[in-house]
Amino acid sequence: YGDANQKIDYVFKIVLIGDSAVGKSQILSRFARNEFSLDSKATIGVEFQTRTVAIENKNIKAQIWDTAGQERYRAVTSAYYRGAVGAMLVYDITKRQSFDHIPRWLEELRSHADKNIVIILIGNKSDLEDQRAIPTEDAKEFAQKEGLFFLETSALEATNVESSFVTLLTQIFNIVN
């Protein structure tokens, strides 16, 4: 997890977006520090976290930006999107509304971010299967239609969090090469 003494070949800016409480900050915390907290407060202050991973023998530093609670006020600014080459669009599989808002987030992303930004749709909290409100098939279909990658994750159980970032970073890497 440490970045010390590593030669960095690429730095990729990734943005996390989606409704409040879907688990964006915990996904980031799981990926960047392998930590999870059940009582996470609204994220304040921290702009981004980083983690370096090796993809095809290159060291890629992911600089991952979190919305710091701005999603409540629909105040995510264009500075947040500036320079981003990847985006994680997150909903909560137990909250219908968070999935219904995805087209809105996508529109926001497409109007503010670079045209070539790589986007992955993430259905988080897959550990709460008994409370599932969004069938996997529905999300898969939506993602296909919109040309997005798609995975379900659990930040709590650390399921697919690593693969989500690796999928995104690999795709970005393939585009820049």
Query: Which residues are at the interface with Mg ion (CB under 5 A)?
Result: 24-25, 43
Residue 121 interacts with which of ligand GDP, Mg ion, none, CB < 5 to 8 Å by class: none
Residue 24 binds ligand GDP, judged by CB under 6 A: yes
Residue 25 binds ligand GDP, judged by CB under 6 A: yes
Q: How far is the CB of 174 from ligand GDP (least distance, A)?
A: 28
Footprint (CB under 6 A) of ligand GDP, residues 30-59: 37-38, 40, 43
- DSSP result, 11-77: EEEEEEESSTTSSHHHHHHHHHHS---TTPPPP-S--EEEEEEEETTEEEEEEEE--TTGGGGT---
Beta strands 149-152 and 118-124 are: parallel
Residue 22 binds ligand GDP, judged by CB under 6 A: yes
Considering only 9, 11, 20, 32, the residue that binds ligand GDP (CB under 6 A) is 20
The residue at minimum Cβ distance from ligand GDP is 23
Q: How far is the CB of 168 from ligand GDP (least distance, A)?
A: 17
Residue 60 vs 134, nearer CB to ligand GDP? 134
Contact call for residues 87 and 120 (beta carbons, < 8 A): yes
Q: How far apart are CA 27 and CA 128, in angstroms?
A: 15
Residue 21 Rama label (left phi>0; alpha psi -120 to 50; beta): left
Kindly state the tokens that stand for 47. Answer: 């702009």
Residue 102 interacts with which of ligand GDP, Mg ion, none, CB < 5 to 8 Å by class: none
Residues in touch with ligand GDP (CB under 6 A): 20-26, 37-38, 40, 43, 124-125, 127-128, 154-156
